[in-house]
Amino acid sequence: MSTETTIATVWNVALPVPLPRLFDYRPADGVADKADIGCRVRVPFGSRELIGVVAAIGTPEAGTPELKTGERLDTQPLFHGELLESLRWLARYTHAPLGEVFATALPGPLRQGEPLADTHAWGWRLTDAGRTAVPRLRGKPRRLAKLLAGSDQDEDALADQLDDWRAAARALAKRELAARFAIEPNALVPPRRRGATASGTGVNTGPPLNPEQQAAAEALLAARDGFASFLLDGVTGSGKTEVYLHAIADCLARGRQALVLVPEIGLTPQTLKRFRERLGIAVHALHSGLGDGERARTWAACVRGEARVIVGTRSAAFLPLPNAGLIVIDEEHDGSFKQLDGIRYHARDFALVRAKALDIPIVLGSATPSLESLRNARTGRYTHLRLHVRAGEARPPRVRVTDVRKRPLDAGMSPELFEAIAATLRSGSQALVFKNRRGYAPVLLCHDCGWSAQCTRCDASMTVHAGGRRLQCHHCGARRPAPDACPDCGGLALQSQGAGTERIEEALSKRFPDFPVLRIDRGTTQRRDALENLLRDFGDAPGILIGTQMLAKGHDLPNLTLVAVVGVDEGLFSADFRAPEKLAQLLIQVAGRAGRAARPGEVLLQTHHPQHPLLETLLNGGYHAFADAELAQREAAGFPPFAHLALLRAEARQLEATHAFLHVAKAALRDSGAQLELHGPLPAPMPRRAGFQRAQLLLSSPERRTLHAALDAALPTIHAAPEARRVRWSLDVDPVDLY
């Protein structure tokens, strides 16, 4: 009987499955090499085929059955060097399967095995027939044709000049009056430095920096040759973006790439336009509002070093940066940087890890820094840069608290608020009414018997929409028509209790029929670029904006002089230990929308609790006084940033299954020998959602290393437990939301 004298090398493949292990496959050509690491491969997995990534090269163990073969898809690794090692770090830190981390880092087409996208820029030009047809055209096709008649235009330039130009371009192309063409990627032209002559090319000089901005910019430039972390802590309107632009221009002049992360899709078009105008080069975007093809092209342009400035939301933290020079995290405190499902990573924290690995500076900017970042700045881990004054002629808004106890309210608004809005409109300015609750009303109630409309799948009330005609659950998405009569007593005394943005819009439209009233929330901004288009159409004429937290982040509204906050009380008494921080940040951010130009601004806060300590601290001492008090309370209570948390969640149709799993997990964590505080199993703050019973186990340790050592020791037992197969469970390290 003969024996094998050689052992074939195999691929250890990370697959996008919830199993914390690698899978062995033989290369189709029988040859495996270290150069395969980081390449995508197509492999059989059970009855289907999956796209995985070669994570290592190994040899099969003795007695291993014949391995299946896989097909390599890439000629060069998509993951290598810094990005590969950073993703390995993320898998270890979140205790997530490496294959799922790789899949999260790739855009959809690459996850599905498609080749790396073509990264030609695209432009449009008129055909000969189109030039003669211009006088006969009408509407947007005519406006587009006139633009193209002057010169060929790339798509970024068209987007800046004409709204919805794509539909007009398709109409012209269908009639063979215009044609799309590929533009070869150009080498980077170093931008003109500040102070260059107006005839130079590249960066357009912006407004002069004030002394604080200048000092911050010089600190960033002084650290450009290695890793350094900065907290740019500036009041709203202090010109943080100008500091970013100064540092980015220097980065580009050195032939390097800059990555800018912003919290919301709605901020991306505004930031893109400003950056393009100032930097004089193409600025790439990456966010969920783009199509899969567009995101794949941005990813490919980054791989090839063609994308020099990238502005994106959370997922842009995974972009390859072969020529990295700078990372900027704008509004670093914002909760949207945390992924709340799948791989529960924090883009800000991952960007910090990448900046250190890339040996480049990173800037975290905010008017209301997270308590974690503030503590890091105060302990010397970050360099703390302060901007105390607003840029240009803008001055801080005047803040006024209105006590609405025993006052008549219309849709939650007091007579004083209506008077302030009327005065603002008469002066030719704009007002913003902020209410962080969308819909018409939070609950539908029977005034006769007390019945309220509850979701049948969640432990939550259904929100009233469409002026009282529709009920919708904001947790599971269930919808149903509002009943004509009470289902319990048959009475007709059904009333919408409370007020959301729709009800406020209705009330203000009746009070001020001669002025435009624009509502900005998830219901009005679902379409691509909807927020940008709505604000542009609203313009600078006198009018009223009604919005949720979408309008609290980074938008520059020069004619807005009044901000009225309705519903402050809803956030004053939450059981979540992070609630005071979130409320303080939200109030400061939304107040910062007022008076950002030459005209003075005013902020009106309505409350039933004018003496609440949080409001008094914010009004008398500002955000940093609040942060000092809150950090002291967190330290005394043993909460982050003075402790490190992990949350093990479980859900199942039967509550017994979730508790059985969490008891097994708790026993495994105790057996790890680590000194942990274990709280639970406890019901989740919302015990039932979308028909599933939910419970959780909270882990706490003063030492990060201790927490991770316990998870490393316990997770193999947890994964292998039979109880784990009877529930859906997840692990969230450093949770920001206990829901």
4 is a domain residue:
no
How many structural domains does the chain have? Answer: 6
Query: Exposed/middle/buried for 673, CB within 10 Å: 0-12, 13-18, 19+?
Result: exposed
194 is a domain residue:
no
CA distance 396 to 601: 7
687 is a domain residue:
yes
**Residues listed for the chain:** 739
Return all residues near 705 (Cβ < 8 A) that are at least 6 apart.
Answer: none
- Report strand pairing: 602-607 vs 10-14: unpaired
CA distance 723 to 666: 13
| Residue in the structure block whose two tokens are 């399967």 | 97
Q: Are 458 and 475 in contact (CB under 8 A)?
A: yes
Indicate whether 566 and 473 sit together in one domain.
no
Indicate whether 578 and 481 sit together in one domain.
no
The pLDDT value given to residue 510? 95
The pLDDT value given to residue 596? 62
Q: Are 168 and 140 in contact (CB under 8 A)?
A: yes
Position 29: which residue type?
A: D
β-pair partners for 65: none
Q: Which helix (H) or strand (E) holds 347?
A: helix 347-358
Indicate whether 353 and 452 sit together in one domain.
no
Q: Are 570 and 606 in contact (CB under 8 A)?
A: no
CA distance 401 to 564: 10
* Cα angle: 318, vertex 322, 328; to 5 degrees: 55
The pLDDT value given to residue 4? 42
Indicate whether 164 and 45 sit together in one domain.
no
Return all residues near 482 (Cβ < 8 A) that are at least 6 apart.
Answer: 444, 453, 464, 468, 469, 470, 471, 494
- Report strand pairing: 430-434 vs 543-547: parallel
CA distance 680 to 99: 30
The pLDDT tens digits for 382-427 are 999 999 887 766 677 788 889 998 889 898 899 999 999 999 999 9
Structure tokens at 453: 């409309």
Last residue of a domain, one of 168, 183, 198: 183
In which order are the strands placed within the sheet that holds 644-652? 677-689, 692-701, 644-652, 728-733
| Nearest by Cα to 736 from 582, 551, 574 | 582
| Residue in the structure block whose two tokens are 């995974």 | 318
The pLDDT value given to residue 185? 57
617 is a domain residue:
yes
- Report strand pairing: 383-387 vs 228-234: parallel
Indicate whether 371 and 285 sit together in one domain.
yes
Sign of CA dihedral 355, 359, 365, 369: positive
The residue segments making up the domain with residue 178 are 121-183
205 is a domain residue:
no
Indicate whether 230 and 318 sit together in one domain.
yes
Last residue of a domain, one of 111, 132, 153: 111
CA distance 238 to 210: 10
How far lies 578's CA from each of 372, 563, 614, in Å? 11, 24, 13
Q: Are 176 and 129 in contact (CB under 8 A)?
A: yes
Question: Could you check whether the bond before residue 408 is cis, i.e. omega within 30 degrees of 0?
Answer: no
The pLDDT value given to residue 198? 30
The low-confidence residues of the chain, meaning pLDDT below 50, are 1-6, 186-201
The pLDDT value given to residue 52? 97
Q: Are 471 and 452 in contact (CB under 8 A)?
A: no
How far lies 133's CA from each of 161, 172, 351, 507, in Å? 21, 10, 51, 49
Indicate whether 416 and 556 sit together in one domain.
yes
Indicate whether 319 and 233 sit together in one domain.
yes
For the domain that residue 74 is a member of, what is the CATH number? Answer: 3.40.1440.60
191 is a domain residue:
no
| Nearest by Cα to 50 from 98, 99, 96 | 99
Indicate whether 472 and 515 sit together in one domain.
no
For the domain that residue 653 is a member of, what is the CATH number? Answer: 3.30.70.600
For the domain that residue 561 is a member of, what is the CATH number? Answer: 3.40.50.300
634 is a domain residue:
no
* Cα angle: 520, vertex 525, 530; to 5 degrees: 105
Indicate whether 532 and 413 sit together in one domain.
yes
The pLDDT value given to residue 438? 87
The pLDDT value given to residue 481? 94
270 is a domain residue:
yes
Indicate whether 661 and 596 sit together in one domain.
no
Position 540: which residue type?
A: D
- Assign 703 to helix, strand or coil: coil
| Residue in the structure block whose two tokens are 């012209």 | 172
Q: Are 241 and 298 in contact (CB under 8 A)?
A: no
Q: CA-based Rg of the chain, rounded to a whole angstrom?
A: 28
The pLDDT value given to residue 739? 64
Q: What is the DSSP letter of 143?
A: H
CA distance 409 to 285: 44
φ/ψ (deg, to 5) at 116: -60, 135
Helix 81-94 vs helix 347-358: angle between axes, to the nearest 10 degrees?
Answer: 140
Indicate whether 82 and 158 sit together in one domain.
no
Last residue of a domain, one of 75, 90, 111: 111
